[in-house]
Structure 1
Amino acid sequence: MFHWQEAYTLAIVFKDALDQLKPFKDFSIQIFATDLDCGAIDKAREGIFSANIAKDMSTERLNKYFVKVDRGYQVIKSIRDMVIFAQQNMIKDPPFTKIDILLCRNLLIYLTPEIQKKLIPLFHYSLNKGGFLFLGSAESVGNFTNLFKPLDLKSRIYQRLQPLIQTEPVELPTSFIPARSVVNKPANEVKNLQSLADKLILQYYSPATVLVDGKGDILYITGRTGKYLEPAAGKVNWNVFAMARKGLDYKLSDTFYKAVRQKEEVTFKNAIVINEGGPLMVEISVNPLKEPEALSGMVMIVFTDVTIPNVNQTIKATGQTSVSNKREEELERELLQTRQMWQVTGAEMQISQEEFKSSN
């Protein structure tokens, strides 16, 4: 979202601040810098500045954070490791989430008002509670004063607010809509996918809902799914199993593969998920879609909260008595999930062999 040199500059500033503050806890700082141009991304990853930077900074800082190379000065590896460069079209690609500071300076002014109105709520969605948004000198959050409050209007620095009422779901980028090759449908059928999904969801599924393909890759999201899903650490992964919160992982995959195998809706009742707000009991419904035709082959996952007052007591009753027991339970779940996936694979191979024999 900004020039690659700024990303390294920020990393150096944050490193200096941590060295001065000497916090009691270890802090891991990760900066995500994005651009549309692959060539610019490759150049940025090298982290090589021109030799002229020696005139603009002290010798002490130059020696601390740079090493001399043939083409100028290269940022040292520890600073380069703090920055991840990625190609991204913020209008079309899935957003980064759980961000503390988001800088998008002097970009909105080149976009239409309609797109700007979609991006500001998306920035709010991407930021952590109390996170900060930096915009360009000629940019603002517009009418979204319920989402951000100004901290410094002159510098265009805003802080994320928690709205009292969520008026409407965030419109996520269109990359959640699958390409034609994913669903093997003609273009004229796929172009109305989002409207068809909206209609189906509003008609049958008012809770938080996720539309995925046969592998669990997310195609479309509606409602507030943050209680059940969160982005996995590391490289962006929009697979629903990778994003499942603690307590849902093996339950979600077991229900999913069972529904796909049986080609009918399967529900897992009273699953307990752990999130920042504490334990929560939820019902998971997985429905392989057959109609409308444009959605055929996709899978709808619906999360419905179950109102039970004594969730904490329920967790205690399950026997989580020691760290060793917890680890044993996790290993058993992983083993069960692996066995189930092998069973599904074996069944698919058997069906393929039978179809091959019958064709001969």
Structure 2
Amino acid sequence: MDQADRQFEELLIHLKEARGFDFTGYKRSSLMRRVRRRMAALQIADYGDYVDHLQVHPDEFTALFNTILINVTSFFRDPGAWDSLRRSVLEPLASAKAPDAPVRLWSAGCASGEEAYTLAMLLGEVLGVDALRQRVKIYATDVDEEQLNDARHATYDATTIAAVPPELATKYFEAAGQRYQFRPDLRRSVIFGRNDLVQDAPISRIDVLTCRNTLMYFTPETQARILARFHFALADGGTLFLGRAETLRHHSARFLPTDGKHRIFRRLPRAVAGGYAPPESTQHQLARGTDGPVRVDRMRNAAMLASPIAQIVVTSDGLVALSNQQAERLFGVSARDVGRPFQDLDVSYRPVELRTYIEKALSERRTVHLEDVRHHSTYLEVQITPLQEGDAEPLGVALVFQDVTAARRLRDDLETANRELETAYEELQSTNEELETTNEELQSTVEELETTNEELQSTNEELETTNEELQSTNDELQNSNERLRRSTAELDGANAFLDAILTHLRAGIVVVDQSLQIRAWNRQAENLWGLRANEAVGEHLLNLDIGLPVDRLRPLIRQALGGEPEPGEMRLDAVNRRGRAITVRVACSPMLDEGVPVGAILVMEE
């Protein structure tokens, strides 16, 4: 690895530690090309200098992530593939499900949400709008928080909506000024959240999982880990929907193609994906009678259990497949733990962190040896061997724990004896050397004492200077502390004054910032809607579930945030906290800071 490659890896580590984005699994060629594009825009030639720039300019992270995460998406991208998904997957799924059974879907790498809302529209056509509202949950995830925020608002311009068939656009979108918003009553069926496919745990019990044109940016090893998570996430018989540039040629043990042209795959059961069966000829020789296969399995299990060496078998999905009696004696792993995630067992990290070595054995497809592992009063030699058939993906790993305590003790005794002999010889030699050097040390002592005296005088002068500097710094700190105390008292007074005003106003007052996060909620607002201030502050205004149709306030707030000096006003029909129908007059004014809108003030009166 040359200097540039090392600096690039250090940049990836910095991104992971500073912002939690793990790009180490991405293909290096395309990743380096995109980072270089951003560095060229800043006229930075060296990766190390770019790391320094990121530390000084935190806003640069956003620009870099937008460059790396190519969020190319649209409604009904590749219409033929979506038609095939509807005919071959969604319609049979609707027929097979009970009328009240939930339908769970996952849009992985959803970007700004077009793919997730496309799924919602297709299910609305297959199941009906009412069933979409009541039975369907679409989990849409991405690593880019900025894209997720755009997706949650569910508003798109006319150019983006043009990809939606006109009859569906009319049925599922509402005009919102110059843009179009996905119907709010159906929007609740789509749940957005951040999920890193490389690091985070997958969502479970999924019927259909779409991940289009995302896997192609990862290395083959990272793709294998992600596909193992997808296999775990999907329910039995679940469907995986990929992009045109992606295929699963090397993962046929987990997924079966049902429409190769449109990249639609069906999840194979765990027994097929991770199991093992001996060759047919061997099975025929072993099966003497109708219970032959059963007898062979029993013999295999008995041999495993009776082995004098502790053994544990873990599947490629990270689940415990087998363990023997010695493993139970050493680590407490028994038949009750079969099927559990290996990472949940103490042996996965104690006496040594095994999960890292398991990943290494699977990725490199070679046996990993660990020596002199201390476990209580014994020493173990651990062997981690990948289990695979031919050139196929590994089925899992076999962990073998060999007790080498006796050998270790013999080796320690031998090493101790050798050290004692060497020590005796060295002591004889050192005695002579010490006598020779004693005279030299006595002569040098006088010189050292003279030097020490000079150093003490110099140190005394430095201490006097340091004391003066500390005294000056102490005075400055006292002055700064007094100014800070006065500023704090003024701020507390201002806050108390503002709270008193908001509390005694007869109207409900709500203050939001530019992102529509609630910053103030007075007592009259509590009386109107039954929502306490500590429950409302910090929430997004348009996400509140109160008797006021808050989504209709969007144009009024946008007008105030746009800098309109005159207050806007509207009247809305609502239901107060007592369940009584009322008419509310809502006035909205901009909250300015040096003439610039930083938020909006809503005044609500019955």
Q: TM-score range by the shorter chain?
A: 0.3 to 0.5
Q: Which has the larger radius of gyration?
A: 2
TM-score (norm 1): 0.46
Larger RCO (CA under 8 A, 6+ residues apart): 1
Question: In proportion to residue count, which structure has more helix?
Answer: 2
TM-score (norm 2): 0.28
